[in-house]
Structures are given as C-alpha cells and as structure tokens.
C-alpha cells in the first residue's frame, strides 16, 4: 500500500474554490448556524446561498448543466460548509448521495430528466436505502416493487432518510425478486409528489438538527417503468458503488466540523486567562492543540487521497482500491472529529458545555459521522475485506 499511496495536493483552482466557499460560508451560513440548530429547522439561508453560487451540487456533470466538479472539489465544498454548520453541509453532500446512482447507472433520458433540475437548484435529491429492520444489513430490506404493465408499484418504509420532505427526488432501493437476495434489489427514482408518498415526523436528534431526518412511506406508489435506475436487479450493486464514492463526503463533513472546532478553540485559549496568563501558554493545552491539528491533517490527507481515487475510478480506472480508501477516510476522519470536538469542549471548560459557544454543537454534530453511511464498525469490516 505504501508504494501506491500518493500525497494528494489540491491545485491552485481547488484552493481558490476553498477561499470562495469559506468566505461565503462565514458570511451567509455561519450567522444562522446556532439558530438553525436551536430551532431544528432546515437551513434555507444556506441552501439559497449555495444555489446562488452554484455550490449546492457541484458534482453534476456539465452535460446536464452542472459545474462538473471533480471529487476533491466536492469534498472541499462540503468541508468548508461543515466548518461552520454541519447541517448545511448535508445539502451538497446528500445531493451527491441521492443523485450518484443516477449518474452511475441510469439511462441518458433519466439523467437529463433529473440531473438538470438538480444542477439548476430547482430540486434536491435524497437516498433511500435503510429501513426499520435493515440498517447495517441493507440487503435485508423489505420494501417491494412489483411490475404492473408499464409501471412498478412500490410498497414499504424507508428510515433515517436525510432531508426527507425537503428533497424533491428520492433514489429508492426496493426488492423486485426476493429469491435472489441482494441481486434481486432494484433502484428507482421516486418523486415527492407521486401519489402514495408521505413522510413521518422529523426525528428528534442529538445533532445535525437543521437537516430533517424522517421516514419515507411508500403506499402503492405507482411509477413509470422507465424510472428504474439501470437494469432490474442491479440496484444493490449500484448502492454499494455509490457508497464507495460518497463515504468520502462524510469524511469531508467530519473534517470540516473538526477544523471548525480547532479554529474556535485556538482563538479561545489565547483570550482566556487563568493564573495570570492565557491558557494557551500552558504546555498541557499546547499538547492538546498539537494532537488535534495532527489528527486533522492526517484525516485531510487520507480524505483527499480517497477523493483522488474516486475521481480516477469515475474516469474509468479499475486499479484503484477505492472501497478500502473510502471506508478508511470516513472511519478515520469521523473518529478524529469526535475526539477533536470533545477536546475543544474540554479546552473551553464550562463555557464549552453551553450553547452560547459553538463547540458543543460541533461535538453533537460530529457524532453522526461515525454512524451514517455505514457505522465505523462496518467500515472496519469493509476495510478488512478489501486490504490493498
């Protein structure tokens, strides 16, 4: 693995993108982050700002009106938004998660129909894989799709669906042939306004409160047969390929949250005085900051290396160990983010434990990155099965 590992350095264009996203995030998104969390409301201000600057779905190819950004550019957008607001970073992240199955496997007609409004900012995408009894064991799903002439009829419940109720389009995995297990799962595009689609109440969550998480109910939802993504029975394979790419966006979210916590803690320890001097002058505090910065940089390099592999796989390379690197980046960055945000709270002492300071929100937001798109226990299983 060592000989194949390349330190991925962002280009000048990537760094210019970072500067512009950071400026936008600090001006238009950060001022609303605490309120969004406190009120558990969708960050509409963030969506408006991202859409106005074509940053809501930068991964969409130029063919469909998108920016055609590479995987690293997408990572940088998510990272910089997450630095100020974890909830808001799920707008570009989940737009990619929900639409990537279409990009990877759908017909050209389906791509044009759904990627074009996504690129314009007229719609958002969500991803429906998990169910009440199918979490880590996604292949155990029970949602069914039955062929009826020129249509498919979907019945079932999807759980833990990010941005459900706000998104207009949903990539839904459903069983079309139960006897074939995972090879009998197919993917479909379901629209919010399709008859029979409804949503549960928003979950009351520990963190990322501004991003609604709801159940999606499919009650005899009848959709045209041409809304199937790829061939019948290919849905689970598409879902797993999607996660290989999008786990890197969760690493980016974790990375951004961790960076935001470190940045705030660094400023705080220079201002807070005890025993007659700034607490940042004490070696114990300096060691904590050093460890935080070291873990962030390690997470960043692993995440960027994974993004580079994601891009090369998208360009047709079959030699990249993307499955391992995607899982490793997500696992390491999210574990690091949980440690770093916890340390940031510690550095602020009692103040860090209050909602008057942002690090407690960052700590709560960081926790989910260890859980969704595959728990970190599952990531370790994935890595062990795909050792380079």
Tokens 């300071």 correspond to: 357
Catalytic position from the list 80, 320, 360, 373: 373
Beta pairing class for 151-162 and 144-148: antiparallel
What are the backbone dihedrals phi and psi of residue 153, each rounded to the nearest 5 degrees, phi first? -115, 120
The span from the CA of 89 to the CA of 78, in Å, is 5
Tokens read off for 269: 């320890």
The span from the CA of 172 to the CA of 238, in Å, is 11
The span from the CA of 212 to the CA of 199, in Å, is 11
3-class DSSP state of 218: strand
Tokens read off for 112: 């044009």
Element (H, E) at 73: helix 71-82
Beta bridge partners of 214: 161
Alpha carbon 329 to chain centroid distance? Answer: 13
Q: What angle do CA 123, 219, 176 make, to 5 degrees?
A: 90
Tokens 């833990």 correspond to: 160
373 catalytically annotated: yes
The span from the CA of 94 to the CA of 373, in Å, is 11
| Whether 280 contacts 270, CB under 8 Å | yes
3-class DSSP state of 169: strand
Catalytic residues: 373
């Amino acid at each position: 693995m060592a000989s194949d590992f390349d330190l991925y350095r962002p280009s000048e264009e990537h760094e210019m993108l970072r500067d512009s996203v950071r400026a936008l995030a600090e001006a238009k998104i950060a001022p609303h982050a605490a309120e969004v969390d406190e009120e558990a409301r969708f960050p509409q201000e963030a969506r408006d700002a991202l859409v106005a600057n074509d940053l809501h779905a930068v991964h969409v190819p130029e063919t469909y009106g998108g920016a055609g950004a590479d995987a690293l550019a997408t990572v940088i957008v998510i990272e910089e938004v997450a630095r100020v607001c974890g909830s808001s970073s799920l707008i570009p992240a989940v737009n990619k998660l929900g639409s990537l199955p279409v990009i990877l496997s759908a017909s050209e007609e389906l791509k044009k129909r759904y990627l074009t409004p996504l690129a314009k900012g007229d719609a958002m995408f969500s991803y429906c894989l998990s169910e009440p009894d199918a979490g880590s064991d996604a292949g155990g799903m029970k949602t069914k799709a039955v062929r009826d002439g020129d249509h498919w009829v979907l019945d079932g419940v999807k759980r833990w669906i990010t941005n459900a109720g706000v998104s207009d389009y949903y990539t839904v995995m459903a069983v079309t042939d139960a006897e074939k297990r995972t090879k009998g799962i197919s993917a479909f595009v379901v629209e919010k306004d399709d008859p029979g689609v409804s949503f549960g109440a928003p979950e009351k969550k520990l963190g990322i409160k501004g991003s609604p998480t709801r159940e999606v109910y499919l009650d005899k939802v009848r959709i045209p047969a041409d809304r199937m993504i790829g061939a019948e029975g290919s849905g689970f394979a598409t879902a797993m390929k999607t996660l290989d790419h999008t786990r890197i966006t969760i690493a980016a979210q974790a990375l951004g949250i961790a960076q935001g916590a470190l940045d705030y803690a660094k400023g705080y320890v220079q201002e807070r005085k005890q025993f007659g001097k700034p607490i940042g002058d004490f070696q114990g505090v300096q060691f904590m900051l050093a460890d935080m910065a070291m873990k962030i940089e390690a997470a960043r390099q692993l995440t960027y290396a994974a993004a580079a592999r994601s891009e090369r796989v998208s360009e047709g390379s079959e030699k990249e160990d993307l499955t391992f690197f995607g899982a490793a980046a997500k696992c390491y960055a999210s574990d690091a983010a949980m440690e770093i945000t916890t340390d940031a709270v510690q550095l602020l002492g009692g103040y860090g434990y209050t909602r008057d300071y942002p690090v407690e929100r960052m700590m709560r937001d960081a926790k989910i990155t260890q859980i969704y798109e595959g728990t970190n226990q599952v990531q370790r299983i994935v890595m062990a099965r795909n050792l380079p």
